[in-house]
Amino acid sequence: MKVPLLDLKAQYRTIKSDIDAALIRMAESQSLILGPEVELLEKNLNEYLQCKYSVGVSSGTDALLIALMAIDIKPGDEVILPTYSFFATAGVVSRLNAKPVFAESDPVTFNIDPASIRKLITKNTKAIVPVHLYGQSAEMDEIMKIADEYNIKVIEDAAQAIGTQYKDGRRLGNIGHIGCFSFYPSKNLGCFGDGGLVTTNDEELAARLRILRVHGGKPKYYHKIIGGNFRLDAIQAAVLNVKLPHLDAWTKARQTNASLYTKFFIDHELAEETGRLEYDENNKVLLPKAVYADKQFSHDHIYNQYVIRVKGRDDLRKHLTENEIGTEIYYPVPFHLQECFAFLGYKKGDFPVSEWCANDSIAVPIYPELSEEQIKFTVQTIAEYLKK
Ligand SMILES: *Cc1c(COP(=O)(O)O)cnc(C)c1O
């Protein structure tokens, strides 16, 4: 049995006629960039994310970059972010000649540890960028408290967490000053190329984001500020407008798949419960925990990825690859150990939790169209290997 990490063709088959019609409509309209289709998407997403302003942009990376530009991050400013995330979170800070300051991760959620943030604040700290990794919220109350105390802005990297609710029920992207989303095809809501979104409830920031999106010109060709080409293609917006009504059902399927993994891992006596942090004979696999599951929200965790931890992760991965089961390592090298950040002077051992996550974590397939048999087979294959 083949179990790919992601099967976008399977999703396309379920909505093919609506997608095809939208693509043809866009071809005939030849309205290709921004315009009414993007405006409709922004309106739809304001509703879905329960925020006041949505601004469609060219990618999740550009969402982060434009957000930092909107709050006026300048050379020498310090921006605190988790050392364990996708590269874009740190890359955009350096591209503005600001200084990324890395923080430690929480061992249960993989998200930035608020206690670690507090120690990193200096007079140059201008922003904190929490990442809602794998589809679950960072501890935002604590982060906002620190930000308020020191008058620092918070940019949420919600690229993997569209629709996720925080413990008080609020949707992510609404809690910090700006929220950043990605429509990269592997995200829960993916378009047919690159695309992204920034959200805010602040009218002034929204206006600034819209101007920065078109090179900083307003009116057109008159520039008070310098922006960039951060425009979203209309054809991507059309695809997203077709997909958005299906998103909740897809999220539910991901959650069902996560429960099946938990059940099968426990049945195979590879784990006793979710959220364990120590390996032993009965816990050879550490399962991810939805920490707000007790709140009974529909979107406490949207499982963009289902990430387990095991000792000897690389050998297990080889075994799974040989058995045609797709996996990925998110992420093998935390920022503080990346070559491009060597000049910042960090060393191995500076962030033991993040380094442990980077060493032991492995993502197994979780996409909505996955069958129960495929999940069963994946867990069986892992069990065979770990019980040898
Ligand atoms: C995907 C992702 C991004 C970047 O999004 P792109 O659309 O690929 O540019 C940023 N941060 C995180 C955490 C991501 O997962």
374 lines ligand 1 (CB under 6 A): no
Q: Is 160 in the pocket of ligand 1 (CB under 6 A)?
A: yes
246-386 folds as Aspartate Aminotransferase, domain 1 (3.90.1150)
User: pLDDT tens digits for 12-65?
Assistant: 999 999 999 999 999 999 999 999 999 999 999 999 999 999 999 999 999 999
**Does residue 236's CB lie within 6 angstroms of at least one atom of ligand 1?**
no
Angle at Cα 193 formed by Cα 188 and Cα 196, nearest 5°? Answer: 60
For residue 149, the model assigns a pLDDT of 97
Residue 182 Cβ < 6 Å to ligand 1: yes
Ligand 1: which residue has its CA nearest to atom 7? 60
What is residue 269's predicted lDDT score, i.e. its pLDDT?
97
Cβ–ligand 1 distance for 138 under 6 Å, the answer no
Q: What is the location of CATH 3.40.640.10 in the chain? A: 8-103+110-245
Is this prediction's pTM over 0.95?
yes
Distance 295 CA to ligand 1 centre (A): 28
Contact 183, 195 (CB under 8 A): yes
So what's the pLDDT on residue 388?
74
Please state, in angstroms and rounded to a whole number, the distance separating the CA atoms of residues 360 and 34.
42
Q: What is the pLDDT of residues 281-322, one digit of tens each?
A: 999 999 999 999 998 899 999 999 999 999 999 999 999 999
- Mean pLDDT over 216-230 rounds to 95
Q: What is the mean pLDDT of residues 255-275?
A: 98
Residue 59 CB–ligand 1 contact under 6 Å: yes
Which of 56, 66, 62, 54 minimizes the C-alpha distance to 34? 56
Answer whether 188 contacts ligand 1 (Cβ < 6 A).
no
Spacing, Cα 305 to ligand 1 middle (Å):
13
How high is the mean pLDDT of the chain?
A: 97
For the CA atoms of the chain, what is the radius of gyration? 21
pLDDT digits (tens, 9 = 90+) for 349-367: 999 999 999 999 999 999 9
Residue 325 has pLDDT above 90, yes or no: yes
CATH architecture of 8-103+110-245: 3-Layer(aba) Sandwich (3.40)
Residue 266 CA to ligand 1 center (angstroms) comes to 32
Q: Which residue owns the Cα nearest ligand 1 atom 14?
A: 159
Q: How far is the CA of 28 from the centre of ligand 1 (A)?
A: 31
At 14, give phi and psi (nearest 5°): -75, -15
Would strands 153-157 and 178-182 be described as parallel, antiparallel, or unpaired?
Answer: parallel
Q: What ligand 1 atom has the least distance to the C-alpha of 195?
A: 7
Chain segment 70-100, per-residue pLDDT in tens: 999 999 999 999 999 999 999 999 999 999 9
Atom 6, ligand 1: residue with shortest CA distance: 60
Q: Could you report the per-residue pLDDT of 114-147, keeping only the tens digit for each? A: 999 999 999 999 999 999 999 999 999 999 999 9
Residues 28 and 37: their CA atoms lie apart, in Å, by: 13
Cis-peptide into 368, omega within 30 deg:
no
Ligand 1 binding pocket includes 86 (Cβ within 6 Å): yes
Q: Is the CB of 157 under 6 A from ligand 1?
A: yes
Measured in Å, residue 240 CA sits from the centre of ligand 1 at 17
Distance of CA 322 to the CA centre of its chain: 29
Q: Which residue intervals of the chain bear CATH 3.90.1150.10? A: 246-386
Q: Which of ligand 1's atoms lies nearest the C-alpha of 186?
A: 1
pLDDT higher than threshold 90 for residue 387: no
Residue 181 Cβ < 6 Å to ligand 1: no
Average pLDDT over residues 251-269: 98
Instruction: Find the 221 Cα to ligand 1 centroid distance in Å.
Output: 30
* Residue 305 CB–ligand 1 contact under 6 Å: no
